[in-house]
Structure 1
Amino acid sequence: MTGGNVDTRSDEDLLRAHVQGDPDAFAALITRHHTYLWSLACRTSGNPDDAADALQDALLNAHRMAGQFRSDAKVTSWLHRIVVNACLDRIRRNRSRMTVAIPEYDVLPLADGHDQMAAVDLSVSIGRALDELPPDQRAAVIAVDVEGLSVSEAAQRLGIPTGTVKSRCSRGRLRLAQILGHLRVA
């Protein structure tokens, strides 16, 4: 890759070149997928600060573990799994620290459905509800219901059996229905 040109090598070729010592290959690979990986980290972590830290940890791990990549999966699936695992690790670490919740006095009830802000309010409510799910359920629900992956694709990306994805989605959806029950129209 030279002076602003896009590297046209496949993801697998870039990762292989990185392992073989190409100093630009890993950067080209990450540049290609950074937007997706960042949005994944944000959705999984629940806040931009933790997402940034988790993504940095994930990219360092991917850089170091590139030689262990097996070509039985897509590079993007491998990166997805590393990012989700880094986010879940950070969530676990954060939970082990003592925190005190700050009351949210500025939360307004949902606006009228005809109001343009209603969609924003709904999005915020759903985001907050997702934040209340356990990290493993959140990751499964986001993969299947937000990203639109099939159960088998989500299982592959998360590195868990399909039955586990189904049960985590089921429990997560049930919990979301309870949390968001106030949004039901009578």
Structure 2
Amino acid sequence: MDDAALGDSSDQDLLSAHVAGHPHAFGELVRRHRDRLWAVALRTLGDREEAADAVQDALVSAFRAAHTFRGQSAVTTWLHRITVNACLDRARKAASRRTSPVDDTERLEQLLEPHESAEAPAERQDLHRELLTALAKLPVEQRAALVLVDMQGYPVAEAAAVLGVPTGTVKSRCARGRARLLPMLAHLRGATRDNSGLGRGRNRTPGASVPPAAEPRDPGPNDPAGVKGGGGRA
């Protein structure tokens, strides 16, 4: 496969090309999916730096484990599963040293989507802040399920594949998470539904900001560190 054909190749073909030694196939795969992986990580962890590190961990893992992919799910599902697992690992490790992942104005401003932070009405920003504050109080497993199903719009079956749990577990986690959110957000029920932040369909904000690349470390052509900070398709 030559470089000119990368953009027209399927995800699975790109992964196969990477396994076969193509130096740029994995980078193209990252460019396609990094924004969505970043959005999931940021909403799950509630911390910009932690989310960036989790995505980087996930990409390195995917880079190294590409040969284990058997095509039993979509490549994007496989990538999301690795990313969510990286987020859950980081959240569990951080639990003992962090009492509230979203507890200050600066952190909340970071979590707002760029277009909302700069231009959205104050009411929408306030609703988003309150939603994120409440979401951060949920157990991380419930939070991850709600992020995938209610914020990213994944079908329950696909969210279950990403999380590596039965569909019934996803439904249970979502139900428990919503039940815990309800009293925290009850005062918002009179607000416009469009401002609630939940149930907006998959990739509600495809332009989610991705942190800039780290300083180059002179990676080789196949070094996954070279993909950190990649954004959407060039």
Instruction: Sort the TM-score into its range (normalised by shorter chain).
Output: 0.7 to 0.9
Paired with 2:25 and 2:105, the residues of 1 have a C-alpha distance of: 48
Compare relative contact order (CA 8 Å, sep 6+) and give the higher one, 1 or 2: 2
- What TM-score do you get using the length of structure 1 for normalisation? 0.86
Cα gap change, 1:103 to 1:164, in 2 (>3 Å): closer
Paired residue type of 1:90: R
1:144 alignment partner, one of 141, 149, 152: 149
What amino acid sits opposite 1:68 in the alignment? T
Q: Pick the aligned partner of 1:159 from 156, 159, 164.
A: 164
The alpha carbon displacement at 1:44 in A equals 1.3
Q: 1:176 aligns with which of 174, 181, 185?
A: 181
- Given that residues 47 and 101 in structure 2 are in contact (C-alpha distance below 8 angstroms), is that contact kept between their aligned partners in structure 1? no
Structure number having the greater helix percentage: 1
Q: How does 1:72-151 map to 2 (within 5 A)?
A: 72-97=72-97, 116-151=121-156
* C-alpha separation in 1, matches of 2:174 and 2:18: 36
Amino acid at match of 1:57: D
Amino acid at match of 1:165: V
The equivalent of 2:35 in structure 1 is 35
In the TM superposition, what is the alpha-carbon distance from 1:105 to its structure 2 partner?
Answer: 8.8
Q: Percent identity?
A: 50
SS at match of 1:7: helix
Structure 2 length as normaliser, TM-score? 0.69
Q: CA 1:168/1:22 → structure 2, altered by over 3 Å: closer, same or farther? A: same
Equivalent in the alignment of 1:110: none
**Residue 23 of structure 2 corresponds to which residue in structure 1?**
23
Distance 1:145 1:18, change over 3 A: same
Amino acid aligned to 2:16: R
Q: Which amino acid aligns with 1:23?
A: P
Distance across 2 between alignment mates of 1:43 and 1:122:
15
- 1:56-100 C-alpha deviation (Å, 9 max, x unpaired): 111011111111112010000000011111011111111133669
Match of 1:120, as an amino acid?
A: Q
Describe the shift of the 1:29–1:164 C-alpha distance in structure 2 as closer, same or farther (beyond 3 A).
same
Q: 1:161 to 1:88 in 2, by over 3 A?
A: same
Cα distance in 2 between the residues matched to 1:146 and 1:58: 21
Distance 1:75 1:102, change over 3 A: closer
Give the root-mean-square deviation of aligned CA atoms. Answer: 2.5
Cα shift at 1:40: 1.4
The higher radius of gyration belongs to: 1
